[in-house]
Amino acid sequence: MAVPELHRLVLDNGLRVVLAPDRTAPVVGVSVHYDVGFRSEPEGRTGFAHLFEHLMFQGSESLEKLAHFRYVQGSGGTFNGSTHPDYTDYFEVLPSAALERALFLEADRMRAPKLTPENLANQIDVVKEEIRLNVLNRPYGGFPWILLPPVLYKTFPNAHNGYGDFTDLEQATLDDCAAFFDTYYAPANAVLTVAGDIEVDSARGLIEKHFGDVPARPRPERPSFAEPRPTEELRDVHLDAHAPLPALAVGYRMPDPVHELDGYLAHLVLAGLLSDGDGSRLQQRLVHRESLVTDINAGAGLFGPFEARDPDTFSVTAVHPPDVPPDRVLGALDEELEAVATTPPDPRELAKVTARWSANLHAEHDRMVSRTLALGAFELLYDDPVLVYDLADRIAGVTAEDVAAAAKNLRPDSRAVLEVRPNGEAK
């Protein structure tokens, strides 16, 4: 497809900037991606990256607490932030007349968020309540994104709970916050993206005005989080008093999302072949024909695709009746993967999956917030925002043989299997 207009620049303080003009509607998206996520937080401080995301909304150098909220909403805009394995993002979508306001807000907290004992204590309580609601008191809470990694991975960066342990969260100090900010929230460790109804030269001037004097600090060296693949099947059991039915999560290592992109994309297509829609292979067999499960899904990335560097996880999750043994579900999964590995999918089946992927990508990029965030993430992870617009064609180019090779990669002797047992069952 033709690539829409994109401009890239780097400020003197190291901040990378992506500009994506689109004058079809009077709306702009502004995002800042920082190259720090769950995997970068130190041992003994689980959940710290997410906690710090909360702190970035608690006031800044020039603004009191909640001012960010008022200025964005008062402009008719929306905003949020999110923490991922390898980055943290912050964004606003507003009327284009409010562009400078959004740039000022992001630059002001990049310069100096308001780190106070009151804000820290308050946000620790907020995060703990979020964990109670989303994990501890919810059926299948943390399944699979918290529960599966410690089975599949061995190192702290890849295996620990990114939401955070209560004890670790409670021990966080202002010195920890200041050190985290100084290390990871440097302009040279960030990407600013502005998309939508902008005039490029004017936007450049506003960006230089607001971000140009943010003090430069060294970009931290990112360590490799690579670790060996499993050489055997790894198993664990999680007891969930809130779960109405047993569940199963199966995790496999994927090709490097950045340096082995075509192999990674083949796994995305395989996931669609296996579980997207009622006509998919796992849905047809395990749900409709044999009634082995009540729900089944396959996917790349525990948060979705293109959200992490290496290593990344291919997962299959299933909820099944109590009288169906987990190994029976695993056996059916293995048989379906073997069928794809030995007999590549026919052109019609493959085309249906790749067409759905392409349609979903185009629909996502029509949404201003999704497009802005994707451009920033791809600049950060791949050093190539143009790749956002190439993905549909790259996925359409995945062959049946590529998908067969991906299925062959998902081996029973190098995977993690997590059983969730309801009502405290221990058998």
Confidence of residue 365 (pLDDT cuts 50, 70, 90): confident
Confidence of residue 147 (pLDDT cuts 50, 70, 90): very high
Confidence of residue 380 (pLDDT cuts 50, 70, 90): very high
Residue 316 DSSP code: E
Scored b (16 or more CB within 10 A) or e, 385-402 reads: bebbbebbebbeebebeb
Rg of the chain taking only CA atoms, in angstroms: 22
Q: What is the mean pLDDT of the chain?
A: 95
Average the pLDDT over 48-67 and give the result: 93
Average the pLDDT over 367-371 and give the result: 95
Domain with CATH 3.30.830.10 in the chain: 7-211, 234-344+399-422
Please give the pLDDT value at position 424.
55
Which stretches within 304-386 are classed as H helix?
A: 326-342, 347-366, 368-382
Measured between alpha carbons, how far is residue 263 from residues 29, 124, 397 in Å? 31, 40, 12
Please give the pLDDT value at position 114.
93
Select from 3.20.19.10, 3.40.50.10890, 3.30.365.10, 3.30.830.10 the CATH code of 7-211.
Answer: 3.30.830.10
AA letter at 211: F
pLDDT digits (tens, 9 = 90+) for 309-351: 999 999 999 999 999 999 999 999 999 999 999 999 999 999 9
- pLDDT at residue 2 tops 70: no
Average the pLDDT over 252-275 and give the result: 96
- pLDDT at residue 375 tops 90: yes
- pLDDT at residue 427 tops 50: no
- Half-sphere exposure (Cβ direction) of 420: Cα atoms closer than 13 Å: 26
Average the pLDDT over 35-57 and give the result: 95
Select from 3.30.460.80, 3.30.830.10, 3.30.565.10, 3.30.540.10 the CATH code of 234-344+399-422.
Answer: 3.30.830.10
Percent over 90 (pLDDT), the chain:
92
pLDDT digits (tens, 9 = 90+) for 179-200: 999 999 999 999 999 999 999 9
